[in-house]
Amino acid sequence: MGSRNPQRFSLGGIGGGARPPRDLVVLLVVLFVTYSLQFFASTAPLVALLRLTPAILQGFVWQIATYPFIGGGPVSVWFLVALLVVYWFGRDVFYGLGRKHFWRLFAWATIGGGLVAVVVYLLQALSGASPFIPFVLMQGQQVVAAVFIAAFATANRRAVIYLFFVLPIEARWFLGIEILLAFLGFLSTHDLPGFLGISAAVGLSYLYVRDGGLGRGLRQTRLRLERWWIEKKLERVRRRRKLRVVKGEGRGEDRGSWVN
Residue 21 gets the label, from left (phi > 0), alpha (psi -120 to 50) or beta, of beta
Residue-wise pLDDT tens digits, 8-59: 333 344 444 568 899 999 999 999 999 999 999 999 999 999 999 999 999 9
Question: In this predicted structure, which of 7-21, 130-144, 237-251 has the lowest mean pLDDT?
Answer: 7-21
Query: Is the predicted pLDDT of residue 185 greater than 60, yes or no?
Result: yes
Cα–Cα distances in Å, from 202 out to 8, 12, 95, 148, 194? 23, 22, 20, 9, 12
Domain ranges of the chain: 8-212, 215-247
Q: Please state, in angstroms and rounded to a whole number, the distance separating the CA atoms of residues 115 and 198.
A: 10
pLDDT above 50: residue 3: no
Lowest mean pLDDT of 13-22, 84-93, 97-106, 183-192, name the range: 13-22
8-212 falls under which CATH superfamily? Rhomboid-like (1.20.1540.10)
Burial of 29: CB neighbours in 10 Å, binned 0-12, 13-18, 19+ = exposed
Residue-level pLDDT at 62: 95
Entry pTM:
0.76
Looking at residue 1, its pLDDT comes to 38
Give me the mean pLDDT over the 100-122 stretch.
Answer: 95
Q: So what's the pLDDT on residue 4?
A: 35
